[in-house]
Amino acid sequence: MRTTVGIIGAGPAGLLLARLLHNAGIDSVVLESRDRAYVEQRQRAGILEQGTVDVLRAAGAGGRMDREGLRHDGIELRFARERHRVDFPALTGGSSVMVYAQTEVCKDLIALQIEEGGPLLFEAEALAVEGAESERPRVRFRREGREGREDVLECDYVVGCDGFWGVARRAIPAEHSRVFERTYPFGWLGILADVPPSHDELVYARHDRGFALLSMRSPNVSRLYLQVPEGMDAGSWADEEIWDELERRLETADGWSLERGAITSKSVTPMRSHVHEPMRYGRLFLAGDAAHIVPPTGAKGLNLAVGDVVTFARALVHLEETGSAERLDAYSETCLRRVWQAERFSYDMTTLLHRAPDATPFEDRVQLARLRRIATSRAAGTDLAEGYTGFPLD
């Protein structure tokens, strides 16, 4: 099998890249180890930055998002039982975010790829990337139901959108790699609940007992999170215990109340920051979680992946149109500028809102002072709003 761009992974990054290349007249093949049902049900991110929304619309993949997604023009910060709203459009010149689950983005892009695009192979496990430093890199893969027989996808370029545990990053020799990372001594206990959200925008709460987040997936489904100790088992919390703790941490002085409902899923997400440099080796390019991980506090993971594949697609189109590989050669440097800004923002949001297990009274007071600065200073509020709604894709 032969193509111009071999894409490993049919998450939102890989699928969007295939769509962008198709629209530019560049052929690709997408390899995905899981089946279609799994990809369309995989619960991940739900906040789309302004730039991501604009890219999906321009790619012809924004119709259902615009009909069913929830535009949000701000977030609410809670601390000391007070409520403070950060108004995104007022502070950024009109930018907002969209609440639209990653599962729905994938469904939309899969439907478009099957109807209009190139091959999208489910249950096709990438085994290795070979010859990345040559002009003809290859992806060895194995498809379900072929009695273990291996196939080879020959490419001009390979883009690894296969996540932290995928094969793409492992194809880069250790002597060419640098890793920067930080782990946090807490995680997020997340729940999905069949109950309308108790607030019409996301609520980020700092409390002496730990962080809490009120989010949503739709007008009838709430997504909520609690800071918990690292490694905690989600099953160790009874449903009513979760609701009681959420109510404590989200409490305000004005009588706001939390609506409860049936919890349909529970999980614990570890918190870490990770960056692999460079994001390119020869004709192998890393995108999304294959290259970088952010704690979910800043809602940056999916959006960073979108920025990566947009950068790659624009660079390849530039090469096709002008013969210049300048932008392709600058892929890693270009992406990493944005990646490190997102890492910085996510780190700032995490340390702003979570209480460390060994926090001192001094650190508690500094944390509250930082929050009050954002609530009362237009300059500080603007910095948060600009970071949350997204850094430029260029």
Rounded (10°) CA dihedral 2, 292, 32, 110:
-100
Neighbours of 370 (CB within 10 A): 17
Kindly state the DSSP code that residue 382 receives in the 8-state scheme.
H
Determine the residue type at 318.
Answer: H
Residue 223, C-beta contacts closer than 8 angstroms, at least 6 positions apart:
46, 190, 191, 192, 193, 215, 216, 217
CB-count exposure of residue 162 (10 Å: 0-12, 13-18, 19+): buried
Alpha-carbon separation of residue 67 from 43, 95, 106 (angstroms): 21, 18, 16
Question: In 3-state terms, what secondary structure has residue 26?
Answer: coil
- How far is it, in rounded angstroms, from Cα 165 to Cα 156? 24
**Contacting residues for 168 by C-beta, under 8 A, at least 6 apart:** 8, 126, 129, 158, 159, 160, 161, 162, 284, 286, 290
**Which distant-in-sequence residues (6+ apart) come within 8 Å of 208 by Cβ?**
355, 364
| Angstrom distance (rounded) from CA 7 to CA 23 | 16
Q: Cite the active site residues.
A: 72, 204, 296, 300, 388
Residues in the chain: 394
Residue 386: both structure tokens together: 């600009």
Structure tokens at 199: 């607030």
Do the strands 5-8 and 28-31 form a parallel or antiparallel pair, or are they unpaired? parallel
Q: At residue 216, what is the residue type?
A: M
Element (H, E) at 182: strand 178-194
